[in-house]
């Protein structure tokens, strides 16, 4: 089996114009509530209001992948990134990864998660040769986290306020440790929310670097209507650049993330083609 991480367009700047990625939208539910996310409109882990034309079952996702690869043979990576959280829908997520690995032994596999519930699945992720996992960690201080998360639901229990943020943070850091012990590349996404965590992102980078994270992605928060944060403006690009500069002393930066849709397909930065969207609709029927 030849899985070349050089072909991952998100992690290798040089491959992003040559190789494409596909997100399979098989994970509709979420197990936390971020104050910048409106579940009515769906949302994506990577802070892009979410956007998937359809949610697919694992078998539909495989069918869709078959068609997408026919139309776009440069696809080198399959990711699961929502439209909710992959591990709030662990059966669907793991079944999809198994099916893809069985049918596409050379494909890079990647998942993006809030980190609450991934820990129990890391051994199997390793077995399936999932090479990249993104954890979105917006705060390393539960007091700040409590301003960002309205609630967290874990093992059928609801948590709120600081307790919710502590639970989430604990699980995120345990997951990061285990990912690194398992040899999986760990990317940290941190959403910059002005007035909430913009002065704290550098602490997130420092702490996660100490625990072995590989790459850091500072993402500007995306203003979505009907959320607790709807009156918070998006960060100015200069603020984003200055935070990237400060955090780069701790971790290499990913700067070309396009905050892709949960059903993104093709070259990063290019819109989904009509032909591929038609395949998505057909796969879902």
Using CB under 6 A as the criterion, which residues of the chain lie in contact with ligand SF4 when the complex forms?
10, 21, 30, 32-34, 37, 43, 45-46, 79, 81-82, 84-85, 114, 257-260, 264, 268
Q: List all residues 6 or more positions away from 194 whose beta carbon is below 8 Å from its beta carbon.
A: 221, 232, 233, 234, 235, 239
Closer by beta carbon to ligand SF4, 15 or else 114: 114
Please give the sequence-ordered ranges of beta strands (E in DSSP) within 114-257, or none if there are none.
130-136, 149-154, 157-160, 185-192, 215-220
Nearer to ligand SF4 among residue 8 and residue 200 (C-beta)? 8
Q: Residue 188 forms beta bridges with which residues?
A: 135, 216
Give least dist CB 200 to ligand SF4, A: 17
Choice between 116 and 243, CB closer to ligand SF4: 116
* CA 21 vs CA 56, 97, 103, 105: distances in Å: 17, 15, 16, 16
Q: Which residue lies nearer to ligand SF4 by CB, 186 or 257?
A: 257
Closest to ligand SF4 by CB, 11 vs 250, is: 11
Question: CA angle, 21 as apex, 16 and 24 as ends, to 5°?
Answer: 160
Three-point CA angle 143, 147, 149, nearest 5°: 105
H/E stretch holding 229: none
Q: Smallest distance, Å, CB 7 to ligand SF4?
A: 13
| The length of the chain, given as a count of residues | 285
CB-nearer residue toward ligand SF4: 134 or 279: 134
Q: Are strands 20-23 and 265-266 parallel, antiparallel or unpaired?
A: antiparallel
Supply the minimum distance, in Å, between the C-beta of residue 168 and ligand SF4.
10
CB of 44 to ligand SF4, least distance (A): 6
Question: Distance between CA atoms of 200 and 19, rounded to whole angstroms?
Answer: 34
Q: Choose between 241 and 285: whose C-beta lies nearer to ligand SF4.
A: 241
Q: How far is the CB of 4 from ligand SF4 (least distance, A)?
A: 17
Write down the least CB distance from residue 216 to ligand SF4, Å. 12
Q: Are 224 and 232 in contact (CB under 8 A)?
A: no
Q: How far is the CB of 193 from ligand SF4 (least distance, A)?
A: 12
Exposure class string for 29-56: b at 16+ Cβ within 10 A, else e: ebbbbbbbbbbeebbbbbbbbbbbebbb
């Amino acid at each position: 089996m030849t899985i070349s991480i050089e072909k991952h367009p998100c992690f290798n700047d040089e491959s992003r114009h040559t190789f494409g990625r596909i997100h399979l939208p098989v994970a509709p539910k979420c197990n936390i509530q971020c104050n910048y996310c409106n579940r009515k409109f769906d949302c994506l882990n990577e802070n892009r209001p979410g956007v998937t034309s359809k949610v697919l079952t694992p078998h539909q996702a495989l069918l869709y992948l078959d068609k997408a690869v026919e139309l776009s043979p440069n696809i080198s990576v399959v990711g699961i990134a929502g439209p909710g959280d992959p591990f709030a829908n662990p059966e669907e997520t793991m079944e999809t990864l198994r099916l893809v690995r069985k049918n596409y032994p050379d494909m890079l596999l990647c998942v993006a998660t809030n980190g609450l519930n991934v820990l129990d699945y890391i051994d199997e992720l390793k077995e399936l040769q999932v090479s990249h996992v993104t954890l979105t960690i917006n705060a390393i201080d539960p007091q700040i986290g409590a301003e960002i998360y309205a609630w967290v639901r874990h093992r059928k229990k609801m948590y709120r306020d600081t307790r919710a943020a502590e639970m989430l943070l604990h699980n995120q850091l345990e997951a990061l440790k285990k990912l690194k012990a398992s040899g999986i590349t760990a990317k940290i996404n941190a959403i910059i929310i002005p007035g909430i965590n913009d002065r704290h992102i550098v602490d997130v980078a420092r702490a996660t670097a100490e625990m072995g994270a590989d790459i850091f992605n500072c993402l500007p928060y995306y203003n979505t209507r009907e959320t607790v944060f709807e009156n918070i403006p998006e960060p100015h690009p200069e603020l984003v650049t200055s935070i990237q500069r400060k955090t780069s002393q701790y971790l290499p930066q990913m700067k070309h993330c396009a905050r892709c849709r949960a059903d993104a397909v093709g070259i990063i930065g290019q819109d989904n083609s009509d032909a591929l969207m038609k395949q998505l609709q057909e796969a879902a029927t």
